[in-house]
Amino acid sequence: MVLDFTVMSPLGDIMMKTLSITTSQFGMAVSAYAFSAGISGFLTAGFADRFDRKNLLLFFYIGFVIGTLFCALAPNYHLLVAARVFTGIFGGVISSISLAIIADLFKLEQRGKVMGFVQMGFGLSQIIGIPFGLYVANHWGWQIPFYWIAIMAGFIAIALHLKLKPIADHLKIQKANSAFQHLLNTLAPSKYRLGFLTTSLLSVGGFMIMPFGSAFAINNLKITNEQLPTLFMVSGITSFIMMPLVGKYSDKRNKFVIFTLATLMAIVVLNIYSNFSATPFILVFITYVVMMFLSLRQNDTRICFNYSYSRA
C-alpha cells in the first residue's frame, strides 16, 4: 500500500494530463488497486497460515512485479485499470505477510523499533524515489517509474529467495480446520475485529487523500512542478530521521496512548491542510511535513498496538 501511495500520488497530475482522464477516473485507477487488494486479502486470510511465510511472500511478490510491469505497458486508461486490479490482487497481501513475519520474528517489546525502521523505507522513497520518479516522468513519461519499480522489485524477489530463511514455526500449531472455518475463527474475537476495523478506517482515510497529493498541491495550492520534489523530499528526510527514534520510544510507553494522540493531532493537521487554497510554499511545506509524520506515526503505532492487543 505504501508503494502504491508513493508511485501514484506524485504522478497523479502527470498521468491525468497525459492520458486525458478526469479526477474521478484517476480515483478509479487508484481504487481499483484497493478494491482488488481488499478482496484478495479477505480470500487469502482463510489459508495464508497454512504455508511457509517465505514461499507465500515470494508468490505474491512476483505477482506484484508482473502487475507493475503491466501498469507501465498499459497504453490507455482501461488497460491501466485492469493492470491496477491485477497488481492489487498480489500487492495487497504483501504488507500483511510482511507484518506477520515481523510478529513471528520479533518480541512485542521490539516491534515498535522494528516498525520504525520498516517505515524508514517510506521516508527513503520520498527522499530519493519520488524526486527521481518525478524527474524521469517529466522528461520521459509516467511509465518509466513503473518500469523502474518492476526492475528493482525483481532484484528484491531474487534476494528474498536466496537470503530469507523459511518461516514455518506457525505450521506446528495449525488445526485441521477448513479455510472457511479458519476465517470465521479469525473474525470471531471482538478484539480482532477492532483491529481490523481500525486498519480499514485508516486505509480509507489514506486513500481519500494521498493519491491526489500532487494534483491537489499543483492545482489547488498552486505549488510549481519544481517545488513539488522539495516538498516530498524534505518530508521524507524528516520521517527517515524521526521514525526509528519515535518507534523506539513507543516500545517504552503505552502504544494505545501514542496512537490516540497521533490520531487526534493528525485529524487537526489534515483538516487544516485539506482546506488550504492558494497558499505560500513555506506554509504548505511545514503543514505537509507535520501531516505526513503524524500519519506515519499513527500507522506505525496502530500496527504495533493491534498486534499486542490481539495477542494479549
Q: Delineate the domains of the chain, giving CATH numbers in brackets.
A: 2-310 (1.20.1250.20)
Nearest residue to 304 via CA among 170, 123, 110: 110
Task: Report which DSSP code applies to 235.
Answer: H
Model pTM score: 0.69
**Residue-by-residue DSSP string for 137-152:** HHHH-THHHHHHHHHH
Which residues of the chain, if any, have pLDDT below 50? Answer: 301-302, 305, 307-312
CA distance 251 to 110: 7
Nearest residue to 259 via CA among 195, 188, 186: 195
Amino acid (one-letter) located at 111: R
* Cell 512542478, residue located: 225
CA distance 56 to 124: 26
Give the three cell numbers for residue 61: 511478490
DSSP-derived 3-state class of residue 59: helix
Number of Cβ atoms within 10 Å of the Cβ of 193 = 13
User: What is the pLDDT, as a whole number, of residue 202?
Assistant: 73
